[in-house]
Amino acid sequence: MKKYKAEDVLIAREERVEFQQKLIEEYNLPLISLRVNYPGAEKDNSLTRNIAEVMKKEIINKFVEQIVYESHEITAEGPVVTMIIENIAEEIKIKTIDVEENHILGRCVDIDVYDNLGNGISRKQLGYNGRKCFLCGDNAQNCVRSRKHKLEEVISFINEKYNEYVKKIIL
């Protein structure tokens, strides 16, 4: 697995946004972008790849008949799953919120939904609360912006969730 720097992550983010916009323009349909919530610059590792693969299958199961395009890439942002879905963006977002809130690994990923014009569909638009930090319960964006938690704490939580998932599927 390739080693990346913080600037590589920013460049990859810009490239992803550009790619997403091209897909939305080409298909004129809503888009899902799934990424693992992994801190730091080294977002590509076996843990993030495994989580992305599990969650990609979960999303495919939710939208199996509606997927018109799907890609899975490894970038400096880590694994990135992109899908074009033939459905109403708000309905897609409701289903992805369900995955984020109810799947054992749902807290470990961000599943963004964009409408056919490229506008992000937020939880708040649909009457949902913002995501909570999985360590302290505060607003997740506040913790990220203020760097409230050590990288090791966040990585440890993600590892624990993945190990819990693996034990669950083995039993």
pTM over 0.75? The answer is: yes
Asked whether 59 and 99 are in contact (CB, 8 A), the reply is: yes
Longest dimension (CA), the chain: 45
Asked whether 140 and 80 are in contact (CB, 8 A), the reply is: no
CA distance 154 to 137: 13
The pLDDT tens digits for 50-70 are 999 999 999 999 999 999 999
Superfamily for the 6-130 domain: ACT-like. Chain A, domain 2 (3.30.70.1150)
- pLDDT band, very low/low/confident/very high, at 132 (cuts 50, 70, 90): confident
Report whether pLDDT(2) > 80: no
Domain ranges of the chain: 6-130
Report whether pLDDT(13) > 90: yes
The mean pLDDT of 114-123, rounded to a whole number, is 96
How does the average pLDDT of the chain come out, rounded?
A: 93
